[in-house]
């Protein structure tokens, strides 16, 4: 799927389309994991913000660049899969997968009540599960961003 976003409304729609397909594809497995790649300012955190809002959270998601990881509790009444936590990780400052493991990654990824978004997944690729999805963000011009992922 390839979407050109010219507004926050377009990005919100892309996030909702991705989330629907992502959850549908992985029902019954462990944690859902998505890697978000792209340059600084290309829309990765905004995408996660809209994912969180789709679960009923207020617009509170901020970049976890300096704290590496933010965990948000999800209201159970608003999601069919019964996710309990949205985990947002920014691996920009991580040097390798071992640093991700120090955050308790193994337990996080085994828990099917987690939905996990990892910005800069290329820095920790070895730790990501084989069934992780990847979303690529790109700058098209000053007013547009590209958002792209594989569909099965």
Q: If pLDDT is split at 50, 70 and 90, which confidence band does 127 have? A: very high
Count of domains for the chain: 1
pLDDT, tens digit, 9 for 90 and up, residues 35-68: 999 998 888 999 999 999 888 887 777 777 667 8
Report the number of secondary-structure helices (H) and strands (E) in the chain.
4, 7
Nearest C-alpha neighbor of 33 from the set 147, 133, 152: 133
> Domain with 9 in it: what CATH number?
3.40.50.300
Angle at 81 between CA 83 and CA 69, to 5 degrees: 25
- Model's pTM, two decimal places? 0.90
Residue 137's domain spans which residues? Answer: 2-149
* C-alpha distance across the termini of the chain, in Å: 10
For residue 90, pLDDT beyond 90? yes
Contacts of residue 95, defined as CB under 8 A and 6 or more positions apart, other chains included, come to: 123
């Amino acid at each position: 799927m390839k979407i050109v976003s010219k507004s926050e409304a377009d990005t919100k729609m892309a996030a909702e389309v991705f989330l629907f397909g992502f959850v549908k594809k992985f029902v019954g497995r462990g944690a859902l994991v998505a890697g978000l790649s792209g340059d600084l300012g290309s829309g990765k955190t905004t995408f996660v913000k809209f994912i969180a809002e789709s679960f009923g959270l207020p617009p509170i998601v901020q970049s976890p660049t300096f704290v590496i990881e933010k965990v948000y509790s999800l209201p159970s009444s608003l999601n069919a899969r019964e996710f309990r936590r949205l985990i947002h990780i920014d691996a920009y400052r991580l040097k390798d997968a071992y640093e991700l493991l120090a955050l308790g990654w193994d337990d996080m990824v085994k828990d099917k009540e987690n939905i996990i978004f990892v910005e800069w997944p290329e820095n920790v690729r070895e730790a990501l599960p084989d069934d992780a999805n990847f979303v690529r963000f790109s700058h098209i011009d000053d007013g547009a961003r590209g958002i792209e992922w594989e569909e099965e």
